[in-house]
Structure 1
Amino acid sequence: MLVAAAVCPCPPLLVPEVAAGAAPELDAARDACLDALGVLAAARPDLLVVVGPGDERAAGAYPAGARGSFRGVGVDLDVTLGDGPGYDAPAGRPLPQSLSVGAWLLGRAHWTGAPVEGLVVGTRSSAGECAETGGALARRAERVALLVMGDGSACRTLKAPGYLDERAAGFDARATEALGSADLDALAALDATLGHELQVAGRAPWQLLGGAARGAGLAGRLLYEDAPYGVGYAVAAWS
C-alpha cells in the first residue's frame, strides 16, 4: 500500500552545478524538495520507487544502482539510483533525465531508508494506463513510497521553451491544486492531449500517483509552486 509520496519537478537546473550562476533562483524549490523527501523518510517505507516521465524508448523499470549523468547538459556529474551494488546499463539505457534528477535529490537528502528502484512512464500513456501501473506499484510491498518527478507546462511565458500558450496557467493551476490536496479524481481528469500540447512532462507520473493512492487515504500538502523560466514547477508531499 502507498504510505507516502513526494512530488518534485525534474529540470536539470535543479542541480546547482548545472544551473551555475543561476542556482540561487531555485533554492526555494530545492529546499521544498528536501522537505518532501523528509516526509518519505518519516513514513518508513519498505520500498521507494522514483517515478519520472520519458519517451517510449526510456519507459520501464530501472534497478537500484542504475547510473545517470548530467554530461548531456555540459556538467561532468554522475549519479546512482539508490545504494545498489552497481548496474551496467546496456547501451542507450542510462537513467533518463527525470530519474537522474530524482537520484540527485536522494543523494542530496542522504537517503538511507528503503531500497530504491526507478520507473519511467511514457509521456503519451493514457490516464487509465497510468492509474493501472500506479495500482500495481502500490501492491509491490506492504509500505510503498513514491518520489514522483515531473514538471508542469513549458508554455507559461513568451520566453518559455514552448512559448506562451494562454491555456497553460489554467492547466497548471488545476494540476497544482490536485497535487496539493491529493485530489485523485482531479488528477485522473487531467487532459492527456492538452497536457501534450502544453508540454506538461508531469501529467503521466501524476496520474500514476493518483492510481497508486486509491484507497490509501493520504492527505496532500503543497510546499512550493512557481513558474521560473516559464515552466510550471510544483512540490507536494502526501502522507
Structure 2
Amino acid sequence: MITHVAVVPHPPLVVPELSPGPDAGLTELREACLDAVKRLGDRWTAVGAHTENVVLSDVAGSFRGYGADVRVRLAEEATESTLPLPALVAGWLRAQAGAGSVEMHLVAADTEPAECARIGKQLDDSGATGLLVLGDGSNRHGPRSPGSEDERAPGFDSDVAKALQTADAGALLEIDPALARSLGAGGRVPWQVLAGVGDGWRPELLYSEAPFGVGYHVAVWER
C-alpha cells in the first residue's frame, strides 16, 4: 500500500546545472521538491505523462537535450537509455535524496480519468509504499508564459493547489482533460492517477506558484 506521496513538477530548471543562475524562486522550488521526496523512503514508484504507457527501471540517461550533460540513473546499477523528462527529473531527485531506486510508470497523456484512477489503484495494490507524482500545471500564466497568456490559467491552478492541499481525489478526477490540454497542463494524467490511490491522507502543500509562467505545485500526502 502507498503510504507516502510526493507531488512535484518536472521543469529542467529544477536541476542547478540547467538553470540560468542564482534565483530565489528556483531555490525555493528546488528545496520544496527535495523536502517532499526525502519522505518517500529508499525505493520509489513514480508516475508521469508520456506519449504512451511505458515502465522504466534500472536505466540511465542524460539532460544533454536540455542544455547540459547531467547524467542520472533510476537505480545504482543501470544501463544507458534515452529518458523522457519526467524520468530524468525522477532520477535526479532520487540521487539528491539518496534513495536506492525509482520505478517509473509513464502513462499516455490522452488517458481518460477513469483509467488513470484504475492505474492508481493498481499501484496502491502493488506493494509499493512511496509514490512520486511528476506533473506541471498550466503553461499559460501571464504574457511571457511559454504557452501565451490565458485568463483561465490562474483559476485552473488554484483549483489544483486546493485539491492537493486537501487530498481531494474527487476534485482531481474532475479535471477536464480538454481544458487541461488547452491550458498546457501536463500534470493532469499523473494527478488523476494519484486520485485513484485510496484515501485516508494527511496532506501538506509545500509550494504553489507560477514563477516562469508555468504552474508548479509541490505537495506531500501521508497516510
TM-score by length of 1: 0.88
Corresponding residue for residue 87 of structure 1: 79
Please say if 1:183 is aligned against 2:183: no
- Contact 1:16-1:23 at 8 Å conserved across structures: no
Corresponding residue for residue 28 of structure 1: 28
Moved more, 120-129 or 198-207: 120-129
Identity of aligned residues (%): 41
Corresponding residue for residue 37 of structure 1: 37
Alignment of 1:13-162 (within 5 A): 13-41=13-41, 47-56=43-52, 59-63=53-57, 65-83=58-76, 85-89=77-81, 94-112=82-100, 115-141=101-127, 143-162=128-147
Cα distance change, pair 61–23 in 1 and its aligned pair in 2 (3 A)? farther
- Contact 1:124-1:196 at 8 Å conserved across structures: no
Alignment of 1:148-227 (within 5 A): 148-212=133-197, 214=198, 216-227=199-210
The offset of 1:125, in angstroms, is: 1.0
How far apart, in 2, do the equivalents of 1:102 and 1:88 lie?
16
Please say if 1:228 is aligned against 2:211: yes
TM-score by length of 2: 0.94
Structure 1 segments unaligned to the other structure (5+ residues): none
**Which stretches of structure 1, 4 residues or more, deviate above 6 A after TM superposition?**
none
Please list the CA deviations of residues 176-228 of structure 1 after superposition, one character each: whole Å capped at 9, or x if unmatched. 1101111111111111110000010111000001112x2x4112110011101
Q: Secondary structure at the match of 1:230?
A: coil
Q: Secondary structure at the match of 1:76?
A: coil
How far apart, in 2, do the equivalents of 1:60 and 1:53 lie?
10
The offset of 1:107, in angstroms, is: 0.8
Please list the CA deviations of residues 9-51 of structure 1 after superposition, one character each: whole Å capped at 9, or x if unmatched. 100011110013155431001111111112223xx7xx52111
Please list the CA deviations of residues 76-115 of structure 1 after superposition, one character each: whole Å capped at 9, or x if unmatched. 11110132x22354xxxx2210110111011111124xx4
Structure 1 counterpart of 2:125, which letter?
R
Q: Secondary structure at the match of 1:166?
A: coil
Please list the CA deviations of residues 33-71 of structure 1 after superposition, one character each: whole Å capped at 9, or x if unmatched. 111112223xx7xx5211112223xx31001x2112111
Over the residues paired in the alignment, what is the CA RMSD in angstroms? Answer: 1.5
The offset of 1:230, in angstroms, is: 0.4
How far apart, in 1, do the equivalents of 2:166 and 2:204 lie?
6
Q: Secondary structure at the match of 2:103?
A: strand
- Contact 1:13-1:23 at 8 Å conserved across structures: no
Structure 2 counterpart of 1:130, which letter?
C
- Contact 2:91-2:102 at 8 Å conserved across structures: no
Q: Secondary structure at the match of 2:79?
A: coil
How far apart, in 2, do the equivalents of 1:22 and 1:122 lie?
35
Q: Secondary structure at the match of 2:133?
A: strand
Structure 2 segments unaligned to the other structure (5+ residues): none
Q: How many residues align?
A: 222
